[in-house]
Chains A and B, each alone.
Chain A
Amino acid sequence: MPIFIDRRLNPKDKSLGNRQRFLRRARDELKRSIRDHVRTGRIADIDREHAVPMPRKGTSEPTFGDDKESGRRQHILPGNRTFSPGDLISKPGGGGGYGSAPGTTESEDDFRFVLSREEVLDLFFEDLELPDLVKLNLKQILSFKPRRAGFTASGAPTNINVGRTMRNSHGRRIALRRPKQAELDAIALQIAELEAKPASTAMSERIAALREEFDRIERRRRRIAYVDPVDIRFNRFDPQPVPNASAVMFCLMDVSGSMGEREKDLAKRFFVLLHLFLTRRYERTEVVFIRHTHEAKEVDEHTFFYHTESGGTVVSTALEEMHRIIEERYPVAEWNIYAAQASDGDNFATDSERCIELLDRKLMRLCQYFAYVEIIDERESHIFGSTENGTSLWRAYNAVDGKWPNFQMRRIAAPADIYPVFRELFARQPDLRKSA
């Protein structure tokens, strides 16, 4: 008889350490493919697992191997039907023949594998230089609350449902005819009575019979337990997501010619981050895309990021459009409204006044949060650093910034600049959670 070991219950993921080592090794290339994914994918898609191609750089395993293109060799093959010695067979498509082993190195590297959601987010966050606490918060899935949901046969001792358990035990005792304590007592009493009387053979026989009966009942009681493991029932709890209110996120972007590929990429990351934040906090998050030149229009995500349109720049049109949509579809009582605006700061001087007015009078009252980023050239970041002056829109928004605490604005030149825009927002989390 051999030794049997059941390994099925051993911890799985024995190779998790190897996977982590592999991902770390391929970090740069994976980061690049996640970046491409952010650039080309939808905003909401960042928050899930994602298949990436096998990185080639840094993950090859070189060994000394034969060059298939040189030298003389022999192939031994089965299944000859028509050949005779001396026959010439032209090589198929040059290079390796039928007999040569398929190049394992090539095919092995040429496949895609799936990164988990956590791994995708880790790679995404890396450029943004988020504080760890924020990362943790963003990666967290919705909070769950246990809710009673019937009974189960297994569970923690603290969850034993005594009522259920005793009911089962009672039923089983009746079904198996477990003798009651009273029967035992009655026989014991009888024995005692008989023993008190003067002894005789008939009497002692009777006593012996009673004793035997007494033992039998006692054995039976021992065999059929009062409470058996099969009787025990536990309260079952079902994790239920905590209901959150809904949020709508407005993405506003200037799409006039001055917004290039780099600017849009930065803007997109800015939107993705806000979106991640909102999906964590609210059960339902909708995104509205408004792009504008000298007039504003609500568009779908693809158009938003990939269609350019020529024209002047009138920012207030976008704000008006946003206001119109709020009035129409997102009553403030039901929706938490967030807005993120990205622009290169160009605007007609006269229009900036109008923007201030719109924000001040209408929008800021409706919005939970309004974040504005001005995307500037990396070289300009030294010049503008922290100065008050800047583009006309910047100067105008400065006025709003002073007045409304839920307004944030920032110049960004690199991905790492994005997070500070939201710093305020993430810092307020505890309040938000309560209000939700």
Chain B
Amino acid sequence: MVSQARKSELLFSGSDWDFNKLSRVYDEIEAIGLEELRLDIYPVQMEIISSEQMLDAYSSVGMPLMYRHWSFGKHFLYNELLYRKGARGLAYELVINSNPCIVYLMEENTMALQALVTAHAALGHNHFFKNNHLFRQWTDAGGILSYLDFAKSYIARCEERHGMAAVEAILDSAHALMEQGVFRYHRPPRLSSEQQREGLRERLEYEERSFNDLWRTLPPSQESGDTKTAGDDDAAERKKSLNLPEENLLYFLEKNSLVLEPWQREIVRIVRVIAQYFYPQRQTQVMNEGCATFVHYTLMNMLFDRGRISEGAMLEILRNHSNVVFQPAYDDPRFSGINPYALGLDMMQDIQRISTAPTAEDRDWFPDIAGRGDWRDTLLDAWANHRDESFIRQYLSPRLIRKWRLFVLADGADEPHYEVASIHNERGYGKIRSALAQSYDIGANRPDIQVVDVDLLGDRHLRLQHTVKDGVMLEGQSRDATLRHIRNLWGYDVSLAAIDAGTGAILSERWTKEL
């Protein structure tokens, strides 16, 4: 057999890499990945960069092209300082959700690391980007690079024409609202102007058809009730015409602001598009990293089993792998939250285990996948159809909860104590699972701020509403500063009311006039 004939052949030896080796390793990894794991990937473009260029990429939110803004300069200084001091290493790779999928490799990596990184990024992340439904629905991998190119040159042109200060002011304000600049639940309808006209014509036609002069002759109902409903109707009509309430503040401002010039609207739009592009990534941290880590771990072991990687290289790979998936306990000084690489990998390996060697408990908890034998299908399905929150809710097993010894602390800000709410016991599994899933639901964790009303004919006052869940208010100083930014974009007064989600009571209201 061919594979046996090649069996003794190592893919590489020594720690230096060159392009031939990289290419050989990639081809081999790709072949195994497609065949054994049934991955489905975009074509790959690998770029070798130096540490300096990696720092550059860090500061421009990981994109190869980005418009210029002072905040990127600030982040660069910060990252550079940490790196120079040795407080933080740089990533070995960076991968862009684009078609072709761009993978950056650091030139300092050894050959073994390059192999690891190739499997991780070029196969793992790449597969995830191409198949996960969030990325498929919400991002346009084919167009992102050309869009960024357009954004960069457009903003540069604006700087030339309108001055750097004016552009900077708009970008500052738009950046402040980036978190509120995404559609969380629905895509905006993309109507072409043709369709819009068509819709308008149909509506008019319907009104003409259903016109009946009799309605006019109806006697008006009681005076008081009538004026009230008229006011309410106005408000309702107004809200309907503006599509209120609206959760995407940037979208609302871009479409409805009364003071923005066309070029300013376009800049707001650019920031909004970029925010939307990154939104799926933030919802799928655990899954994305878990998928990539699972893929590199599985592929590297396969290569080693086939004798294509030497023991020395494998040791180096394993060492790096275990650094990446290291999860200290909560009381360890190195603890800084749950490591998404570790959680993702453990859950995926757990799925593998449940599929092939389930226990009675697993059969109870996961009747549909336990003992099904083919873990690949289950994983491919999970990678395609879940985000972190739903993935954890569906697949976190009691066994893993015990292994991690997870527990839930209830923390009330006005109480002097934390209370241990659940631990890894029979009663706690469900609660821990749903609490952990909840903590990855960024739709629920980000402050929920919406545009609720605006009086375009009156004083043009923009009303925002913050729905307060569990009594978590907004941090005062940054809230005021952000409100000022909204005012800049809107042009008139803005107010933000905090409404309790449970009772509907108004907890506080902040006006830009008072700032």
Taking Cβ atoms with an 8 Å cutoff, the residues of A that contact B are: 1-8, 10, 12, 14-15, 17-25, 54, 59-81, 83-91, 97-99, 101-102, 105, 108, 111-113
Asked if A7 contacts B406 (CB within 8 A), the reply is no
Binds A, one of B264-272, B281-289, B432-440, B452-460: B432-440
Contacts of B471 in A (CB 8 A): 70-72
Contacts of A108 in B (CB 8 A): 78
Complex alpha-carbon distance, A97 and B420, angstroms: 13
Known interface pairs A2-B26, A10-B53, A78-B404; A91-B479 also in contact (CB < 8 Å):
no
Asked if B410 contacts A78 (CB within 8 A), the reply is no
Of the candidates A66, A74, A91, the one whose C-beta lies within 8 Å of that of B447 is A66
Nearest CB in chain B to that of A73: its residue: B411
Asked if B68 contacts A5 (CB within 8 A), the reply is no
Nearest CB in chain B to that of A98: its residue: B330
Since A6-B48, A79-B331, A108-B78 are in contact, a sample of 16 more A-B pairs with Cβ atoms closer than 8 Å, ordered by chain A residue number, is: A18-B59, A18-B76, A19-B76, A25-B70, A54-B77, A64-B179, A66-B447, A76-B408, A76-B439, A80-B424, A81-B405, A85-B422, A86-B420, A91-B417, A97-B409, A113-B77
Instruction: Name the interface residues of B26-74: CB closer than 8 Å to any CB of A.
Output: 26-27, 43-50, 52-53, 55-56, 59-60, 68-74
Asked if A8 contacts B53 (CB within 8 A), the reply is yes
Contacts of B59 in A (CB 8 A): 15, 18
Nearest CB in chain A to that of B486: its residue: A64
Asked if B45 contacts A77 (CB within 8 A), the reply is no
Known interface pairs A59-B70, A66-B475, A89-B418; A77-B406 also in contact (CB < 8 Å):
yes
Of the candidates A5, A18, A23, A105, the one whose C-beta lies within 8 Å of that of B69 is A18
Asked if A63 contacts B47 (CB within 8 A), the reply is no
Of the candidates A61, A66, A74, A89, the one whose C-beta lies within 8 Å of that of B408 is A74
Of the candidates B419, B425, B468, the one whose C-beta lies within 8 Å of that of A86 is B419
- Residues of A contacting B: mostly: loop
29 residue pairs bridging A and B, Cβ less than 8 Å apart = A3-B43, A3-B100, A4-B22, A5-B47, A6-B47, A6-B48, A8-B53, A12-B52, A14-B56, A17-B68, A21-B68, A61-B172, A63-B178, A64-B474, A66-B472, A66-B475, A70-B473, A71-B413, A72-B413, A74-B409, A76-B406, A76-B439, A79-B329, A81-B405, A91-B418, A98-B331, A111-B81, A112-B81, A113-B81
Complex alpha-carbon distance, A91 and B475, angstroms: 21
Contacts of A85 in B (CB 8 A): 420-423, 425, 427-428
Asked if A1 contacts B27 (CB within 8 A), the reply is yes
- Residues of B contacting A: mostly: mixed
Nearest CB in chain A to that of B53: its residue: A7
Binds A, one of B304-312, B334-342, B354-362: B334-342
Complex alpha-carbon distance, A54 and B79, angstroms: 13
Contacts of A75 in B (CB 8 A): 408-409, 411, 418
Q: Is B332 at the interface (CB under 8 A from chain A)?
A: yes
Contacts of B23 in A (CB 8 A): 1-2, 4
Contacts of A89 in B (CB 8 A): 409, 417-420
Complex alpha-carbon distance, A62 and B164, angstroms: 20
Asked if B76 contacts A67 (CB within 8 A), the reply is no
Asked if A64 contacts B44 (CB within 8 A), the reply is no
Contacts of A71 in B (CB 8 A): 412-413, 468-473
Q: Is B180 at the interface (CB under 8 A from chain A)?
A: yes
Asked if B76 contacts A70 (CB within 8 A), the reply is no
Q: What sequence of 0s and 1s flags, for each residue 147-176 of chain B, a beta carbon within 8 Å of any chain A beta carbon?
A: 000000000000000001000100010011
Asked if B482 contacts A62 (CB within 8 A), the reply is yes
Closest chain B CB from A7 CB (angstroms): 5
Closest chain B CB from A349 CB (angstroms): 56
Taking Cβ atoms with an 8 Å cutoff, the residues of B that contact A are: 19, 22-23, 26-27, 43-50, 52-53, 55-56, 59-60, 68-74, 76-78, 80-81, 100, 104, 107, 122, 164, 168, 172, 175-180, 327-332, 335-338, 404-413, 416-425, 427-428, 432, 435-436, 438-439, 447, 449, 466, 468-479, 481-482, 485
Asked if A84 contacts B475 (CB within 8 A), the reply is no
Asked if B406 contacts A80 (CB within 8 A), the reply is yes
Of the candidates B74, B411, B469, B474, the one whose C-beta lies within 8 Å of that of A97 is B411
Asked if B70 contacts A22 (CB within 8 A), the reply is yes
Of the candidates A66, A74, A113, the one whose C-beta lies within 8 Å of that of B435 is A74
Complex alpha-carbon distance, A68 and B475, angstroms: 8
Nearest CB in chain A to that of B433: its residue: A76
Contacts of A111 in B (CB 8 A): 78, 81
Nearest CB in chain A to that of B440: its residue: A76
Contacts of A6 in B (CB 8 A): 19, 47-48
Nearest CB in chain B to that of A100: its residue: B411
Of the candidates A62, A80, A84, the one whose C-beta lies within 8 Å of that of B176 is A62
Of the candidates A2, A61, A65, the one whose C-beta lies within 8 Å of that of B475 is A65
Q: List 4 A-B pairs, minimum CB-CB distance, nearest first.
A: A79-B329, A71-B472, A22-B73, A18-B73
Contacts of A84 in B (CB 8 A): 420, 423
Complex alpha-carbon distance, A185 and B338, angstroms: 83
Complex alpha-carbon distance, A111 and B75, angstroms: 12
Closest chain A CB from B148 CB (angstroms): 13
Complex alpha-carbon distance, A87 and B176, angstroms: 40
Contacts of A77 in B (CB 8 A): 330, 338, 406-407, 409
Complex alpha-carbon distance, A1 and B320, angstroms: 26
Contacts of B100 in A (CB 8 A): 3
Closest chain A CB from B293 CB (angstroms): 17
Of the candidates B43, B47, B468, the one whose C-beta lies within 8 Å of that of A7 is B47
Complex alpha-carbon distance, A6 and B26, angstroms: 16
Closest chain B CB from A95 CB (angstroms): 9
Asked if A73 contacts B408 (CB within 8 A), the reply is no
Contacts of A23 in B (CB 8 A): 73
Contacts of A73 in B (CB 8 A): 411, 470, 472
Contacts of B420 in A (CB 8 A): 83-89
Closest chain B CB from A119 CB (angstroms): 12
Complex alpha-carbon distance, A23 and B332, angstroms: 39
Complex alpha-carbon distance, A64 and B423, angstroms: 33
Nearest CB in chain B to that of A14: its residue: B56
